[in-house]
Chains A and B, each alone.
Chain A
Amino acid sequence: MGLGAYIAVSAALFALGIVAILVRRNVLYVLMGIEMILNAANINFVAFNRFNHAEGSQSNLDGRMFAIFVIILAAAEAAVALAIVLNVFHLFNSVKPAEADLLRE
Chain B
Amino acid sequence: MTAESHFLAFDPAQDFKLLFLAFVLPLVGYVIQIAAGKRLPRQGDWLLTSGLFATASITVLMFAKSLWAAYHGLEFRHHSGDEAGLWFHWFYSSDELANGVANVSAAIFYDPLGAAMLMVVGVVSFCVHLFSIGYMHGTPRYHIFFANISLFTFAMLGLVLSDNLLFLFIFWELMGLMSYLLIGHFSHDPSSGYFHKWATKACKKAFLTTRVGDTCLLVGMVIFFWKFETFRFTELWRLSIEELARHQSLHPGEYPLWMTVGGLFIFGGTIGKSAQFPLHIWLPDAMAGPTPVSAMIHAATMVAAGVFLLGRCYPMFTPDVLNVIAAVGTITAIFAATIGTTAYDLKAVLAWSTISQLGFMVAAIGLGGVVAGLFHMVTHAFFKACLFLSAGSVIHGCHHEQDMRNMGGVRKHMPITFACMLASTIAIAGIPFFSGFYSKDMIILRAWENILGGRFTGASFFAAVGLPLAAACTAFYMFRMIFMTFSDSYRPGTVESPFAHHGGGHDDHGHADHGHADHGHADHGHADHGHADHGHSHAHAAPAHAHAASAHGHDAHGHDAHGHDAHGHDAHGHDAHGHDSHAEHATPHESPLPILVALCILAFLGVFGGHFWLADPLHSLKFWEHAHTWFETSVSFQSLYGAQIGDRLAAAVAVDEHAAHQAHTVALCVSLAVASLGILVAWLIYGRGWERSQRIAGRITHAIHAIYEVVKGKYFVDEALGTAIVVDMKRKDEPRYEPDASVIGASVHVANFLGWIDRHVVDATVNLVGRIGMSFGKGSATFDRVVIDGAVNGVGLFTQTFGSLVRLFQSGRVQQYATFAVFGGLALAVWLILL
Contact = CB atoms under 8 A, between A and B. Distances in A.
Contacts of A21: 815, 818
Interface in A57-105: 97-98, 100-105
B814 A103 contact: yes
B810 A22 contact: no
Interface string B797-835: 000000000000011111101110010000000000000
A105 B818 CA distance: 17
Contacts of A105: 812
B811 A104 contact: yes
A97 B817 CA distance: 12
Contacts of B819: 22
A18 interface: yes
A102 B813 CA distance: 8
B811 A18 contact: no
Interface string B728-759: 00000000000000000000000000000000
Nearest to A98: B813
Contacts of B817: 103
Interface string B702-730: 00000000000000000000000000000
B812 A103 contact: yes
A102 B812 contact: yes
Nearest 5 pairs of A and B residues by beta carbon? A104-B812, A101-B812, A103-B812, A101-B813, A97-B815
Contacts of B813: 97-98, 100-101, 103-104
B819 to A, nearest CB: 5
A97 B814 CA distance: 7
Contacts, number: 29
A77 to B, nearest CB: 16
A23 B812 CA distance: 16
A22 B813 CA distance: 11
Contacts of B814: 97, 100, 103
A97 B812 CA distance: 10
A95 to B, nearest CB: 13
Contact of B810 (A18, A98, A104): A104
27 contacts: A18-B822, A21-B815, A21-B818, A22-B815, A22-B818, A22-B819, A22-B822, A23-B815, A30-B815, A97-B813, A97-B814, A97-B815, A98-B815, A100-B813, A100-B814, A101-B811, A101-B812, A102-B812, A103-B812, A103-B813, A103-B814, A103-B817, A104-B810, A104-B811, A104-B812, A104-B813, A105-B812
Contacts of B822: 18, 22
B833 to A, nearest CB: 15
Interface in B368-384: none
Interface residues of A, number: 13
Interface in B272-310: none
B46 to A, nearest CB: 111
Interface string A21-40: 11100000010000000000
A23 B819 CA distance: 9
Nearest to A105: B812
A102 B818 CA distance: 15
Contacts of A104: 810-813
A91 to B, nearest CB: 14
Contacts of A97: 813-815
A46 B812 CA distance: 37
A18 B812 CA distance: 19
Nearest to A104: B812
Given A21-B815, A22-B815, A103-B812, 11 more contacts: A18-B822, A23-B815, A30-B815, A97-B814, A98-B815, A101-B811, A103-B814, A104-B810, A104-B812, A104-B813, A105-B812
A63 B797 CA distance: 56
Contacts of A22: 815, 818-819, 822
B825 to A, nearest CB: 10
Contacts of B815: 21-23, 30, 97-98
A22 B826 CA distance: 14
A59 B812 CA distance: 47
A95 B810 CA distance: 21
A60 B814 CA distance: 40
Contacts of A103: 812-814, 817
A21 B815 CA distance: 7
Nearest to A103: B812
Contacts of B810: 104
B38 to A, nearest CB: 102
B809 to A, nearest CB: 10
Nearest to A18: B822
A98 B814 CA distance: 8
B262 to A, nearest CB: 86
Contacts of A101: 811-813
B824 to A, nearest CB: 13
Nearest to B826: A18
A7 to B, nearest CB: 16
A98 to B, nearest CB: 6
Contacts of B812: 101-105
A10 B822 CA distance: 17
A18 B561 CA distance: 147
Interface in B775-816: 810-815
A31 to B, nearest CB: 12
Interface string B352-388: 0000000000000000000000000000000000000
A102 B812 CA distance: 6
A49 to B, nearest CB: 25
B806 to A, nearest CB: 13
